[in-house]
Structure 1
């Protein structure tokens, strides 16, 4: 196990927390079955977006993001593969003009975080160009929705899913959409307002692409993050002690909620 540790900084009144594990991924002792044949129904990937490349740390990231944004309404932009996300989430997104970008090849937080960039979506040749230049904002009602957003993008060399967590209610959603749809790139302060939290999950699958978690908030979340990462360390340690004893895919799937700290279908 490698502990999850966030560095923090402040920019324009927004607290930024960065987790850059490099090659030191959080879970180091894996279930051997990740490299074996799986049944065709419920699998580590269908349930948790876990595979033999993006391993159990994906479940840890999912749980950390969900618990860190507790009490807020969550919306996500799965970068680039908007149509695939629409299919998996079974909902129409709200179209927005801007998305948050992280460079998965850069070694430092300062170099990785690009801020607001124009939205973009994979579209077949001949599609309306305006449609391809819009990102999709999806409502996340349960952790399973966050997993679906990750599944939509995770098969690429690197993937990015940005969660915007804001105060509940349609008026706050409208302000979020307005901030992400203006004529100029919005600042994090514009998007987050006083209560909002951004959690960006970037997952590298190919060589020289690296995982990261970026958290942004006007509030100082250091104590909350420290408490959650300490709990993650405890959960990972318990999981690694029993990973080799998991005899089947169902055993693995039963172990994941305890590792992640969330149940997929509980908001």
Structure 2
């Protein structure tokens, strides 16, 4: 079994793949420096949303999500913390009415609630913020660092979630995606995704009783791609864990975790 063991199913015409690690982390040995004080500058959290609770598996999740959506235009909804995400990215989102919801409160399964009404932390200090309090934010992502910033923005509660849409590039497809997420009727993945689009939901548990889960869906069969990535990450995880005794400082760690993630943060 690979550290990333996805279970495949077919639902409503969608190919769906789920990774539910439960109490077992994809990375089982951790850098001791995660439990020490960090100086100013690049840190595990600023670079890969890694801390001493949500550890190196975060880098694996981020790399996997980005690589699964390679060649597509990427848009993401950070659940609830829309305004924090906007501050982290330095730009405003397109407001939409629906967001995706996965509940991972069981180590062996998830509750897939599909699209639910959007919500946000809008503070209500102005009429505009009250008006948009029940809307989610869809952000365009240009590089992996954008996805890291979104994850950092939502890691504030017992559980956190980001939904990533990889769709065909182009203004027309973006317009259609936004329209489907603003429909008065509740959307579904078959009504939102087309052709070779890829949907990736990252659900992260931080407190006791909450767990991680990755949900991938596409009209296209992704089994071969997922299997290849699982093999690649098994190799990366093994190499990372074997290198831990040689990671003497932050610079060495950040170099090693970049290899673990399999992505360059500022590359498209």
| TM class by smaller structure | over 0.9
Tell me the alpha carbon deviations over residues 23-58 of structure 1, each in whole angstroms, 9 at most, x when there is no partner.
101001000000001012211001110000000000
**Change beyond 3 A, Cα 1:39–1:2:** farther
Separation in structure 2 between the aligned mates of residue 94 and residue 108 of structure 1, nearest angstrom? 35
CA drift at 1:242 = 0.7
What is residue 189 of structure 1 aligned with on the other side?
A: 190
Aligned runs of 1:59-138 on 2, under 5 Å? 59-109=59-109, 111-126=110-125, 128-138=129-139
- How far does residue 64 in structure 1 lie from its aligned partner after superposition? 0.5
Q: Quote how far apart the aligned CAs of 1:3 are.
A: 1.1
CA RMSD in angstroms, aligned pairs only? 1.3
- SS of equivalent residue, structure 1 residue 29: coil
**For the residues of structure 1 that align with 2:125 and 2:232, how far apart are their CA atoms?**
49
Q: Secondary structure at the match of 2:40?
A: coil
Are the counterparts in 2 of residues 74 and 140 from structure 1 also a CA contact under 8 Å? yes
In the alignment, structure 2 segments of 5+ residues that lack a partner are none
Moved more, 148-157 or 1-10: 1-10
Q: CA deviation at 1:136?
A: 0.3
CA distance in structure 2 between the partners assigned to 1:129 and 1:190 by the alignment = 29
User: Structure 1 residue 70: deviation in Å?
Assistant: 0.4
Q: 1:213 to 1:33 in 2, by over 3 A?
A: same
Give 3-state SS (helix, strand or coil) of 2:195's partner. coil
Query: 2:72–2:166: 8 Å Cα contact kept in structure 1?
Result: yes
Match of 2:245 in 1: 244
Q: Is the 2:120–2:136 contact (alpha carbons within 8 Å) kept by the matching residues of 1?
A: yes
Deviation at 1:125, TM superposition (A): 4.6
Report 1:138-177 matches (<5 A). 138-177=139-178
Query: How many residue pairs get matched?
Result: 266
Instruction: Describe the superposition over 1:75-112 as per-residue Cα deviations: whole angstroms up to 9, x where unpaired.
Output: 00010000110011111100000011011214454x42
Q: Does 1:257 align with 2:247?
A: no
Partner residue in 1 for 2:180 = 179
User: In the TM superposition, what is the alpha-carbon distance from 1:216 to its structure 2 partner?
Assistant: 0.5
With the length of structure 1 as denominator, give the TM-score of the two structures: 0.97
Q: Distance in 1 between matches of 2:114 and 2:108?
A: 14
User: Which residue in 2 is equivalent to 1:9?
Assistant: 9
Cα-to-partner distance string for 1:179-225 (whole Å, 9 max, x where unaligned): 00000111101111212110000110000000000000000101100
Q: SS at 2:150's partner residue? A: helix
Q: Which moved more, 1:18-27 or 1:121-130?
A: 121-130
> What residue number does 2:207 align with?
206
Q: In the alignment, is the contact (CA less than 8 A) between 1:44 and 1:50 conserved in 2?
A: yes
| Larger deviation, residues 100-109 vs 8-17 | 100-109
Q: For residues 167 and 88 of structure 1, what CA distance do their matches in structure 2 show?
A: 26
Distance 2:226 2:217 in 1: 11
Secondary structure of 1:132 counterpart: coil
Separation in structure 2 between the aligned mates of residue 133 and residue 166 of structure 1, nearest angstrom: 25
SS at match of 1:224: helix
SS of the equivalent of 2:46 reads: helix
Gaps of 5+ in 1: none
